[in-house]
Structure 1
Amino acid sequence: MKRSDLNRQLSRADAAGVWAFTPASFSALLGGIEPAYLKLMTKRLSDQGVLIRAARGVYVNPNARSKPPDARRRLLRFLRPREINYVSLETKLSEAGAISQITTALTCMTTGSSGRFETPWGAIEFTHTDRRIRVGTDVVVQDDGTLEATVRTAIRDLRRVGRNLDLIDHEILAEAITEEENDHEQQSHRP
């Protein structure tokens, strides 16, 4: 395929809001490519900087205008596509101020297998959970479509996995839970 044709297809995908690809979606974008050639092609294109290899089997168009500001969060659905994933643990508690340290990895819970992915935008760490996840109660859908734990769920998850419990500021944690629940209550009373 000519580079100009490829650029045209990537631009068309970008205009439709597609900035990341799996091998299957990239093959479909290009009209169907034999798997062995596709593997060679994606490697060559990532070596040339046309694509960025975000993780095994996930590629990003670095020039896509539709690429979100926080690409790392939006990669969750590509890394564990058939599972429920939500931002929780140290990441959520750090954002709420209940943990004073800023996390280096984006910490998430998943119904899939545990694992860690090193991406160009930072590490993503998945921890497995068997718990039933209730959207709207345990987790909320963010504007960008990602799921995020409530502060109460994040502390429950952290206690269950038993790590970094000594970093919790219990006073700020209680305030964060109360504030979040008050916000949720106010939103539920709006017409």
Structure 2
Amino acid sequence: MTKKDRLVAALSESTKAGGGINTAAELAYMIGERLTPAFTKFLTVCAKKGLIRRVAKGVFESTLTPPDPTTAIYKIAKKLRANVISYISLESQLSHTGDISQIPMGRLTIVTKGRSGTFSTPYGVIEFTHSKKTIRNIAPNLYFDESVGMYRAQSSQAIKDLKNCKRNTHMLES
């Protein structure tokens, strides 16, 4: 079996298991390869041929077995900040809870203990905003949303985050 065939099989299996979004390191592991510059070049060639699609730096999806588009942006966000606490907050969460009437179209706002950054993906823009708050202060105000597989801020925490980040509070309903 060629490396390309192993990649197709691995992508198919990952989608069946609820995945569909994988980092370059995960893809290398899944097909028994090491993450080397040669493997990264192999992924670039596969992307040019349309076998996979680069959705963010170092993050790929299969074009043959793409992930569910309603949850793909959340999966990408989790891959981009896999080793740090991150949760949906700010405008995305306040819109979700109805605390603001505006719906952020094509944008997911996330508070993270990791670095701030903005990533354009085929599913929308992911905006990470760094928080200096301790996990002890944040954790009681979060809940896990099984439908997207991520933590979300309770309304009170999302409003605090909005104020701490000095973002526009004029859109709050109350």
Q: Same fold (TM over 0.5)?
A: yes
What's the % identity of the aligned pairs? 32
Q: Within 1, Cα distance between the matches of 2:20 and 2:56?
A: 14
CA apart distance, 1:34? 5.5
Does residue 141 of the first structure (1) align with residue 139 of the second (2)? no
Match of 1:71 in 2: 72
Deviation string for 1:5-24 (max 9, x for gaps)?
A: 43223223333333121111
Contact 1:92 1:154 in 2 (8 A): yes
Letter in 1 for 2:87: Y
The two structures have a TM-score, normalised by structure 1, of 0.80
Pairing partner for 1:116 from 112, 118, 121? 118
SS at match of 1:75: helix
153-162 vs 67-76, which moves further = 67-76
Deviation string for 1:116-165 (max 9, x for gaps)?
A: 00000000000000112357621101114201000110001001111111
119-128 vs 35-44, which moves further = 35-44
Long gaps (5+) in structure 1: 171-191
Q: Within 2, Cα distance between the matches of 1:2 and 1:22?
A: 17
The two structures have a TM-score, normalised by structure 2, of 0.87
Does residue 154 of the first structure (1) align with residue 158 of the second (2)? yes
Match of 2:87 in 1: 86
Contact 1:68 1:74 in 2 (8 A): no
Q: Within 2, Cα distance between the matches of 1:34 and 1:147?
A: 30
SS at match of 2:170: helix
Letter in 2 for 1:153: Q
Letter in 1 for 2:61: V
Contact 1:140 1:147 in 2 (8 A): yes
Pairing partner for 1:167 from 150, 155, 171? 171
Q: Within 1, Cα distance between the matches of 2:158 and 2:117?
A: 18
Q: What's the Cα RMSD here? A: 2.0
Match of 2:19 in 1: 18
**Corresponding pairs, count:** 170
Indicate how the Cα distance of structure 1 residues 59 and 65 shifts in structure 2: closer, same or farther if over 3 A, else same.
Answer: closer
Match of 1:103 in 2: 104
Contact 1:15 1:66 in 2 (8 A): no
159-168 vs 28-37, which moves further = 28-37
SS at match of 2:140: coil
Long gaps (5+) in structure 2: none
Match of 2:130 in 1: 128
Q: Within 2, Cα distance between the matches of 1:68 and 1:132?
A: 33
Q: Within 2, Cα distance between the matches of 1:136 and 1:63?
A: 38
107-116 vs 124-133, which moves further = 124-133
